Amino acid sequence: MSAEETAAQGSEANGPYYSLRVAEIIEETADAKSIVLDVPAEFAERFAYESGQFLSFRVEVAGHRLVRCYSLASAPRLDSAHKVTIKRVVDGRASNWMNDEVSVGDVLEVMPPSGIFLLQDRDTPLVLFSGGSGITPCISILKTALETTSRPIKLLYANRDDRSIIFKDELNAMLSANSDRLEIVHRLDDVHGFCDAALIVQQVGPRKDADFYICGPGPFMDVVESGLGSLSIPSDRIHIERFESPDTPGAEDSAPIEEAEGQIVTISLDGQDTEIVVGEGETILAAARRVGLEPPFACEEAYCGCCMAKLVEGEVEMLMNDGGIDQRQIDEGWILTCQGVVKGKVRVEYPD
């Protein structure tokens, strides 16, 4: 199928990726845009999602293929289309490409939704802590909780300044319509300074029995976790979504492995086969990065699915699967290479 035909159809599956057409682009702030996707009816079931989940996109930037996760800011059953919001990261490759290069009508490669940062079925209050682009899964959870529950909800939303607040109008509208049970606290670095643990404790106030959701930059999340920690909130009440970006691929953060002790694994990546030695207990992803290959990955904790590859020969045990791959994908032969330890000679193929 030609590129034009694929673009015209906008729905072909390529390995774990589906080609979805960009239906709309929304300028949210000076450094964040939303991309609304057109999910054709035949993929509606595959792209069904829960508030808090994310999509993984495979993009090509300056000749490099990158896979990046973006949380769904839309809410299932409330919003008619899937919407992700991408904030520029300084010198970030995919985020700037998504902001600068994507236009309405383009076709993007997207993996079906995944993730476990989900609204729990409880009656307790909800307290959401968001920083910057960390609002994306939280606004989806917020919308769904307002629509489907009567839970009291508090959102603390930290930003650099007023102009950086994503979804400001939408949040204001939600507040006006639900002022009896929704509270929104905006914290702006240029006015209030950074949040600290004491502030978090103060903002929780009497809602110690709440479900807590945290998403934002690392230092913001650390402060929130520290504040909640001082209140001895049980860990099953604290839900965390990390937006970590992969480091530049390379060997520097992988433990050295004695090559002679490992198994031979053939890795097919970008149309090229490479034979590598995977050490005892080492994952395929770690070994591939150790030898200088640049396979896609993000979370390395079995929940994002970015590092998926197809096992075409041999046996691999996945150490864990935290929702990064579903049964259908496993049945098709896909594995999470960040969790895959090999049992003998193996061949894996990353999607073309």
* Contact call for residue 19 and ligand FAD (CB under 6 A): no
Nearer CB in complex with ligand FAD: 262/323: 323
What is the Cα–Cα distance from 148 to 158, expressed in whole angstroms? Answer: 26
- Name the minimum Å distance from CB 245 to ligand FAD: 3
Name the token pair of 108.
Answer: 């993007």
**DSSP per position, 41-84:** GGGTTTT---TT-EEEEEEEETTEEEEEEEEB-S-TTTSSSEEE
- What character string, x for contact with ligand FAD (CB under 6 A) and - otherwise, covers 136-155? x-------------------
Residue ranges of E strands in the chain: 13-14, 17-29, 32-38, 54-61, 64-71, 82-87, 107-114, 126-131, 153-159, 182-188, 211-216, 238-242, 263-269, 272-278, 308-318, 334-336, 340-349
> Least CB distance from residue 75 to ligand FAD, whole Å?
14
324 binds ligand FAD (CB under 6 A): no
Is 25 a binding residue for ligand FAD by CB under 6 A? The answer is no
Check residue 69 for interaction with ligand FAD (CB under 6 A). yes
Residue 239 is given by DSSP the state: E
Binding marks (x or -) toward ligand FAD, 40..59, rule CB under 6 A? --------------x-----
Cα–Cα distance between 137 and 294 in angstroms, integer? 28
Minimum distance, C-beta of residue 219 to ligand FAD, in the bound complex (Å): 14
Q: Taking the complex as a whole, how short is the minimal distance between the CB of residue 15 and ligand FAD, in angstroms?
A: 20
Q: Mutual orientation of helices 197-204 and 218-230 as an angle, nearest 10°?
A: 60
Q: Tell me the three state secondary structure of residue 159.
A: strand
Minimum Å gap between C-beta 198 and ligand FAD is 28
Compute how many residues bind ligand FAD; rule: CB under 6 A.
29
Say which residue the tokens 């990726």 belong to: 17
Closest CA to 33 of 96, 111, 106, 115: 96
| Both structure tokens of 321 | 């699967």
Please select the residue that binds ligand FAD; options are 49, 213, 243, 297, rule is CB under 6 A.
243
Q: Is 92 in the site for ligand FAD (CB under 6 A)?
A: yes
CA distances from 297 to 53, 284, 286 (A): 17, 12, 10
95 binds ligand FAD (CB under 6 A): yes
> Rule CB under 6 A: is residue 93 a binding residue for ligand FAD?
yes
Based on the shown chain and the rule CB under 6 A, indicate whether residue 299 belongs to the binding site for ligand FAD: yes
Q: Please, which residue, 282 or 300, has the CB nearer to ligand FAD?
A: 300
Q: How many CB atoms lie within 10 A of CB 8?
A: 12
Stretch that binds ligand FAD, among 66-74, 148-156, 252-260, 267-275 (CB under 6 A): 66-74
Q: Shortest Cβ distance from residue 292 to ligand FAD (Å)?
A: 14
Which of these segments, 85-93, 220-228, 256-264, 323-331, binds ligand FAD (CB under 6 A)? 85-93
The pair phi, psi for residue 35, each rounded to 5°, is -115, 120
Residues that bind ligand FAD (CB under 6 A): 54, 66, 68-71, 84-87, 89-96, 133, 136, 241, 243-246, 248, 298-299, 304
